[in-house]
Structure 1
């Protein structure tokens, strides 16, 4: 019986050494999760026992260390969950976030598995909406250009100098506004807008202080033509504290005169002030842009796949979907740092990063292997001694048997 016990011990120790070797070999594999060999005793009715057996090889899904890479398509999961991948036939799961874009625009890992996620409602829209509740699909980056978008709204924040005076001639009468005559206005600034063909259209704004206290007239010109809706100018009024009152929207009606559609835009001036101090623009912006071509792809921390374009625009092209499992130990290792779902793991629990029990995403980051080399080497020494001890029991039993054979 001792031979059987010793052999079972050798087999168990050998299996443990195999597991340790596998862990050490993958200590630098991104997203790798270490395993351990678990044992159980054997009795089968024998009083002394029949030895040992390997009851399971379990995986430890503890978090690996994070490493910054500064590469746009590198992605790490901080917390629970797996990336969902497809090869066109089956779905697999991985913690390895080393992704790249193939020739067809799909985001793939180094074995060709396509990263899956939620699509957007309309990829051609200026403001696509991610369909977070839809069935995940392989994420693909459209290679086409981003069409131009005409300006429809904008905003400006600036201060009008309350100490400035109305522009009057020698007779004390207001000087008629003339864009070519700087003496006819107090201040001038500009805002770039875009027509439907993506052409930049410069809007020059001229501010004229009225003889009426706390009142200014604003003229908007493009190519020398007044473009304030209704013929202009627009009158702006301020309270004694320098805060704008009444209607603060500047409506523009601009004919590009190049075949493009007219620009009808509203510029929000609700944040401007009238205080003592210099004329200064603090912020300005509008929602139009020229056409642009794709220059790069990045992944935001919320999982949104963002296309970057040459016109300084970015668009959500989809969102990475994460999958969780009730029993991660039930996942079946499939090689290439991936797992397959089984009946033991339970159904996948899909969602966006940061929802439910799913972890958050960290872009330009990778999760290293969770193997602790020092701990594995110590465990290897113990397993080696265990192997030697079991071999010694076989040797001892052999000596006893030899003694019995030599009895006269």
Structure 2
């Protein structure tokens, strides 16, 4: 039995090492959230077993839990770089699958068609607004900046000049004639159980039955958190903490390997006695 107990220990330590390595590898990934491995002990017994005679047979990986604590915020000066000061998530849409994605990485850019996108060309979702900036619908829509805002007296197009994002999520496009146009208001999503979100890479998550459905709102209201333009949230991985955990996991692996080696030596001794 000791062989299988220690073998489970080796597998658990290997899983722990993999999780820690993944954390370290993403120490510079904007919006990344670290994970930790949680273990549970295994015992053998039944309703008729004497409680004093129950035997432990090792441990198992109970879960790999995500940690959504806030990472450090880095100032970038770019208006479309946004950071959330709370528990909310940016909402984007995959243009190929139409699937809604949720991310803490607010590093956005504008593509050739005027859509505000992340690094994977997923389109930022906003609440549509009227000319005064008032929300006209609670249905998420793609954020798109018109290339021009009409024509001037000479018939020349009034071209796009710049963009600003307010603390309330208002995206305002500015044009060469000093006119402004409301593009929409940034949508933030909140979940009753964010630890149940499924990671799909590129600092994106999708909903599951565990996370529950998202609730949408504006920055600075309710549980959605504040919005800071000109900054991005970095990874919440603490390298020093991960290196200590790495050493612990390595020692755990070595100890289980030593236990297997000891069991092998005992077995060989018993076999030699019989022969």
Shared fold per TM-score greater than 0.5: yes
User: What corresponds to 1:135 in structure 2?
Assistant: 139
Q: How far, CA to CA, are the matches of 1:5 and 1:47 in structure 2?
A: 15
User: What corresponds to 2:127 in structure 1?
Assistant: 118
Q: How far, CA to CA, are the matches of 2:236 and 2:135 in structure 1?
A: 34
Aligned residues: 264
User: What corresponds to 1:207 in structure 2?
Assistant: none
Contact 1:118/1:130 (CA < 8 Å) preserved in 2? no
Determine if the alignment matches structure 1 residue 102 to structure 2 residue 111.
yes
Q: How far, CA to CA, are the matches of 2:229 and 2:122 in structure 1?
A: 19
Q: How far, CA to CA, are the matches of 1:14 and 1:109 in structure 2?
A: 34
Determine if the alignment matches structure 1 residue 37 to structure 2 residue 41.
no
Higher-helix-fraction structure: 2
The alpha-carbon distance between structure 1 residues 132 and 28, as it changes in their structure 2 partners (threshold 3 A), is farther
Q: How far, CA to CA, are the matches of 1:131 and 1:16 in structure 2?
A: 47
Q: What TM-score do you get using the length of structure 1 for normalisation?
A: 0.62
Residue by residue, what CA displacement relative to the aligned partner does 1:263-297 show, whole Å, maximum 9, x if unpaired?
xxxxxxxxxxxxxxxxxxxxxxxxxxxx8421122
User: What corresponds to 2:182 in structure 1?
Assistant: 316
Determine if the alignment matches structure 1 residue 60 to structure 2 residue 67.
yes
Contact 2:148/2:175 (CA < 8 Å) preserved in 1? no
User: What corresponds to 2:77 in structure 1?
Assistant: 70
Runs (4+) off by over 4 Å: none
Let me know the Cα RMSD of the aligned residues. Answer: 1.7
Shift of 1:100: 0.5
Contact 2:8/2:59 (CA < 8 Å) preserved in 1? yes
Q: 5+ unaligned residues in a row in structure 2: which ranges?
A: 46-52
> Does the residue aligned with 1:16 lie in a helix, a strand or coil?
helix
User: What corresponds to 1:17 in structure 2?
Assistant: 17
Larger radius of gyration: 1
User: What corresponds to 1:361 in structure 2?
Assistant: 227
Contact 1:322/1:358 (CA < 8 Å) preserved in 2? yes
Q: How far, CA to CA, are the matches of 2:137 and 2:7 in structure 1?
A: 55
Q: What TM-score do you get using the length of structure 2 for normalisation?
A: 0.92
Q: 5+ unaligned residues in a row in structure 1: which ranges?
A: 122-126, 149-196, 199-290
Q: How far, CA to CA, are the matches of 2:253 and 2:228 in structure 1?
A: 43
Q: Find the partner of 1:92 among 76, 101, 104.
A: 101
Q: How far, CA to CA, are the matches of 1:65 and 1:81 in structure 2?
A: 16
Contact 2:129/2:137 (CA < 8 Å) preserved in 1? no
Q: How far, CA to CA, are the matches of 2:129 and 2:209 in structure 1?
A: 32
Shift of 1:146: 4.4
